[in-house]
Structure 1
C-alpha cells in the first residue's frame, strides 16, 4: 500500500490514535503540511511515525491512517518570539487503518511517499 509520510509525530498522538481510531492531528512542520496537502490530492492514505524524516528507512514502523478531512490555518505570532510573523498550521482528521512497516521510500517533488506493509499487533516493536 502507498502512503504519504508524516514524520516526527509525537508518541502521545500515536498512542491516542491507537486507543481511539479517529483523531485530529495538528501539524506545523512545513514538510508535514505539504504532505497532508499531497494526500488530499493523491492517495488519501498517511503513514504516521515517531521517527524524524532523516531516520525513516525500510523497516521503520508506524501507523497507517486514512485522511478524512484537512484544513489549513495561518496563525500570527508575536514578532518578538520569531523572525517570522506567521506560521501555517494544518489540522488533519484521520482514521486509523492499522499498523505498518516501511518497505520502500520514494521522494516525489517535495513529499515522501512510502510503500508500507500492514502488520499484525504482535509484530510491532514500536513503543
Structure 2
C-alpha cells in the first residue's frame, strides 16, 4: 500500500491514536502540511512516524491512517518568538487503519511517498 509520510509526530499523538482510532492532528511543520495537501490531492493514505524525515527508510515503523479531512489556518505569533509573524497550521482529521513498516521509499520533490507492509501488533517494534 502506498502512503504519504508525516514525520516527526510526537510519541504521545501516536499512542493516543492507538487508543482512539479517530483523532485530529495539528501540524505546523511545512513538510507535513505539504504532505497532507498532497494526500488530499492524490487520495492517498498517511504514514505517521516518530522518526524525522531524514531517518525514514526501509524498515521504519509507524501508523497507517486514512485522511478524513483537513483545514489550514493562518496563526499569528508574537514577534518576540520568531522572525515570522504568521505560521500555517494544518488540522488533519485521521482514522487509524493499522500498523506498518516501510518497504520502499520514493522522494518526490521533498515529499516522501512510501510503500508500506501492514503489520500485526505483535510484529511492531515501536514502544
Specify the TM-score bucket, using the shorter chain as the normaliser: over 0.9
CA RMSD of aligned residues (A): 0.7
TM-score, normalised via structure 2 length? 0.98
> Where does residue 111 of structure 2 map in the other structure?
111
> Where does residue 101 of structure 2 map in the other structure?
101
Give the number of equivalent residue pairs: 127
Deviations 1:18-71 (A, max 9, x none): 000000000000000000000010133000000011111100000000000000
Shift of 1:8: 0.3
Shift of 1:17: 0.3
CA distance in 2, matches of 1:87, 1:4: 22
Gaps of at least 5 residues in structure 1 are none
TM-score, normalised via structure 1 length? 0.98
> Where does residue 57 of structure 2 map in the other structure?
57
Structure 1 contact 50–62 (Cα < 8 Å) conserved: yes
Structure 1 contact 3–43 (Cα < 8 Å) conserved: no
Output aligned runs, 1:1-127, within 5 Å: 1-127=1-127
Gaps of at least 5 residues in structure 2 are none
